[in-house]
């Protein structure tokens, strides 16, 4: 078989490890692999694909980013693009496609499956919000960045007896803020799954000061709505219609609010794309290797419209339809852990 591989949507640490696994497993089974540049934009015919063999993926296991490039491109947007994508698949004589991505990329992959293209997915998103899988590629590195940042910010917050508000990624859910915040010992974690008001936050700050806490670290998820606070509202949108959450500046708004309402000096740090950059953790390399390996086994056995997922630590198979049906919110056990260790006071 001739198998195309692409990475779509926001990049995430571990993409190269997944590409490597796809290439090594596919070539071991006697298949040919073509690397498609820049996600779905590549299938619109903007660049020729290139053959990938073992030596092309040697030494990339620990590299961040993606050797193939990526983009936020929705090729379903008009008839011309839809035809261009199907035309490229025919012209390049692709028997199958491996699409490594999150909700948006797998949504396009699902459409291609419905068009009769054999396509298998690989779950990737630092947001960790795909349904059917416990973990996605990139998440472990992102939460490690958040925890490391909190370790560093604790010392400077403590030196100045300040509040530091750390804004974490997470388009609809609090996975990154909750896991990163708990691992870094945040004093307060604000996520979409646990609604709070500005008054709740101020009461918590005052209580912590009253019991003698000199420094307070707050982690806030970029998408959070806080009753009584106005985030920025003039927001751009990407090709899939998602608003640019960084432009809401919720971290800055919250830090200013805390300072004005409590008189405690407050600073804010937006971790932003640092959470997606650099070398993947060992866990992300292993997850990417397992998912890439399993994706090729699914292609090899004739499957389509599916992806490997992790359930109770095991690699199993889910349909793309189920994986993208709804955004997976933080699990109840972690919501409770956040309430107990980094929640607002009653
Ligand atoms: O979906 C992953 C993600 O990193 C979100 O957490 C974030 O809101 C968004 O992508 C940022 O996208 P971009 O890289 O296009 O600014």
- Radius of gyration of the chain from its Cα atoms, rounded to whole angstroms: 21
| Angle between the N-to-C axes of helices 198-210 and 250-262, in degrees from 0 to 180, rounded to the nearest 10 | 50
Catalytic residue numbers?
127
CA nearest 315: which of 336, 341, 293, 339? 293
CB distance 255 to 202 below 8 Å: no
Taking the centre of ligand 1 as the mean of its atom positions, its distance from the CA of residue 329, in whole angstroms, is 17
Instruction: List residues bridging with 308 in a β-sheet.
Output: 317
At residue 234, the pLDDT reads 86
Q: For a pocket test of ligand 1, which of 107, 123, 127, 238 has the largest count of ligand atoms closer than 8 A to its C-beta?
A: 127
Q: For a pocket test of ligand 1, which of 41, 103, 171 has the largest count of ligand atoms closer than 8 A to its C-beta?
A: 171
CA nearest 294: which of 100, 43, 139? 100
What lies within 8 Å, CB to CB, of 311 at 6+ separation is 132, 133, 134
Angle at 265 between CA 262 and CA 268, to 5 degrees: 110
What does 171-229 look like in DSSP terms, one character per residue? Answer: SS--HHHHHHHHHTT-SEEE-TTS--BHHHHHHHHHHHHHTT---EEEEEETT---BT-
CA nearest 36: which of 6, 9, 69, 74? 6
Angle at 70 between CA 68 and CA 74, to 5 degrees: 135
Determine the atom of ligand 1 nearest the C-alpha atom of 169: 6
| Structure tokens given for 75 | 């090729």
- Walking along the chain (346 residues) 10 residues at a time, the average pLDDT comes out as 98 98 98 98 92 98 98 96 97 98 98 98 98 98 98 97 97 97 98 98 94 92 96 92 94 98 96 98 98 98 98 98 97 98 95
| Angle between the N-to-C axes of helices 332-342 and 175-183, in degrees from 0 to 180, rounded to the nearest 10 | 50
Distance of CA 129 to the CA centre of its chain: 8
> Mind listing the pLDDT tens digit for each residue in 18-76?
999 999 999 999 999 999 999 999 999 878 999 999 999 999 999 999 999 999 999 99
At residue 346, the pLDDT reads 85
What lies within 8 Å, CB to CB, of 305 at 6+ separation is 109, 110, 113, 114, 119, 319, 320, 321
Which residues contact ligand 1 via a Cβ below 6 A? Answer: 10, 72, 125-127, 169-171, 222, 238, 245, 276
At residue 214, the pLDDT reads 82
Taking the centre of ligand 1 as the mean of its atom positions, its distance from the CA of residue 128, in whole angstroms, is 12
Which 3 state secondary structure label does DSSP give 144? helix
CA nearest 217: which of 253, 274, 177, 272? 177
């Amino acid at each position: 078989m001739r198998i195309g591989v692409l990475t779509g949507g926001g990049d995430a640490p571990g993409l190269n490890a997944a590409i490597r696994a796809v290439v090594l497993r596919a070539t071991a089974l006697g298949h040919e692999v073509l690397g498609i540049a820049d996600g779905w934009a590549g299938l619109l015919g903007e660049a020729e694909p290139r053959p990938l063999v073992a030596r092309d993926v040697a030494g990339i296991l620990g590299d961040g980013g993606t050797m193939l490039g990526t983009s936020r491109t929705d090729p379903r947007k008009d008839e011309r693009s839809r035809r261009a994508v199907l035309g490229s698949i025919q012209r390049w004589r692709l028997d199958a496609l491996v699409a490594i991505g999150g909700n948006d990329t797998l949504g396009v992959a699902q459409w291609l499956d419905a068009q009769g293209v054999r396509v298998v997915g690989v779950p990737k998103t630092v947001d960790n919000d795909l349904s059917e899988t416990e973990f996605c590629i990139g998440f472990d590195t992102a939460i490690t960045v958040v925890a490391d940042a909190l370790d560093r910010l604790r010392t400077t917050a403590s030196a100045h007896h300040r509040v530091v508000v750390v804004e974490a990624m997470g388009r609809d859910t609090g996975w990154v803020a909750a896991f990163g915040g708990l691992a870094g010992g945040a004093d307060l974690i604000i996520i979409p799954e646990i609604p709070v008001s500005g008054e709740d936050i101020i009461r918590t700050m005052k209580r912590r000061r009253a019991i003698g806490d000199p420094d307070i670290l707050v982690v806030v998820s970029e998408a959070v709505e806080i009753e009584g606070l106005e985030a920025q509202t003039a927001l751009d949108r990407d090709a899939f219609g998602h608003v640019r959450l960084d432009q809401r500046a919720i971290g800055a708004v919250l830090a200013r609010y805390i300072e004005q309402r409590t008189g405690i000096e407050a600073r804010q740090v937006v971790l932003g794309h640092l959470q997606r950059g650099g070398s993947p953790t060992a866990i992300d390399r292993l997850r990417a290797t397992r998912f890439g390996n399993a994706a090729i086994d699914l292609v090899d056995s004739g499957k389509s419209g599916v992806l490997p997922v992790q359930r109770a630590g095991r690699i199993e198979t889910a349909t793309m339809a189920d994986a993208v049906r709804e955004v997976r919110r933080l699990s109840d056990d972690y919501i409770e852990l956040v309430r107990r260790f980094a929640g607002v006071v009653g």
